[in-house]
């Protein structure tokens, strides 16, 4: 067993512990079980700014393992260290065959690198059946470019799922701790003007910490 593999798994367990303690994992697991996303066999899903793989793993645990719907998640992040963490987390959850990892800047998805091989590729217009993202827009320098790219690669009449930090006391504290900016809801609605029925999804959860910290919005590309 290599040191890299061992270290990656230690990080993965610590990551899993952290998202369990804060309630992130349970909150998103509840979302995926309640939202009934329009996902079909052989659909391609984009996880934009995947971090440690929380959304990708949550979706695959619900739709592949529980509902037996065979989908592929294409997940990217700009950070190689986060992608290493996602790789270990994905393998530990035994969903690796349903995920493709990439290193990319969310502001330009025409220049994408396959993680591990370094092969160059690009995400074409109207190529994904679902686009989801959590925590990326708060970090990118020009979020309007990232929103444009997510809209560009999403197929018409297919769903967009966005999770972002609320302008609440917990959100403000988190933004100062983790050095990101909170985006006003009005700004987000303006950027996603091409999304129909862009509305908040109320997760049925007793986790008041997560409900205060984050909101999940869903809509459909016109």
Give the domain CATH number at 196.
3.40.50.150
- Domain of residue 91 covers 3-221
CB 154 within 8 A of CB 194: no
Counting the structural domains of the chain, the total is 1
pTM to 2 decimals? 0.90
Average pLDDT over residues 89-93: 89
Paired residues of 46 in beta bridges: 74, 131
- Nearest Cα neighbor of 162 from 194, 132, 183, 142 is 132
Mean pLDDT is highest, among 67-76, 160-169, 191-200, for 67-76
Average pLDDT over residues 98-120: 97
pLDDT digits (tens, 9 = 90+) for 39-69: 999 999 999 999 999 999 999 999 999 999 9
Q: pLDDT: is 65 or 15 the higher one?
A: 65
């Amino acid at each position: 067993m290599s040191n890299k593999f061992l270290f990656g798994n230690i990080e993965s367990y610590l990551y899993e512990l952290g998202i369990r303690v804060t309630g992130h994992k349970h909150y998103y697991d509840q979302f995926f079980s309640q939202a009934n996303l329009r996902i079909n066999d052989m659909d391609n899903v984009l996880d934009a700014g995947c971090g440690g793989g929380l959304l990708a793993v949550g979706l695959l645990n619900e739709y592949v393992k529980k509902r037996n719907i065979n989908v592929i998640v294409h997940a990217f992040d700009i950070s190689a260290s986060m992608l290493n963490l996602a790789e270990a987390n994905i393998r530990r959850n035994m969903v690796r065959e349903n995920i493709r990892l990439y290193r990319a800047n969310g502001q330009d998805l025409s220049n994408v690198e396959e993680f591990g091989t370094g092969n160059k590729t690009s995400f074409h217009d109207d190529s994904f059946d679902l686009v989801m993202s959590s925590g990326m827009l708060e970090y990118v320098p020009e979020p309007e470019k990232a929103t444009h790219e997510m809209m560009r690669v999403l197929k018409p009449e297919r769903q967009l799922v966005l999770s972002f930090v609320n302008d609440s006391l917990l959100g403000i504290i988190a933004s100062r701790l983790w050095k990101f900016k909170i985006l006003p809801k009005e700004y987000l609605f303006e950027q996603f003007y091409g999304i129909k029925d862009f509305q908040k999804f109320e997760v049925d959860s007793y986790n008041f910490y997560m409900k205060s910290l984050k909101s999940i919005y869903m809509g459909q590309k016109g």
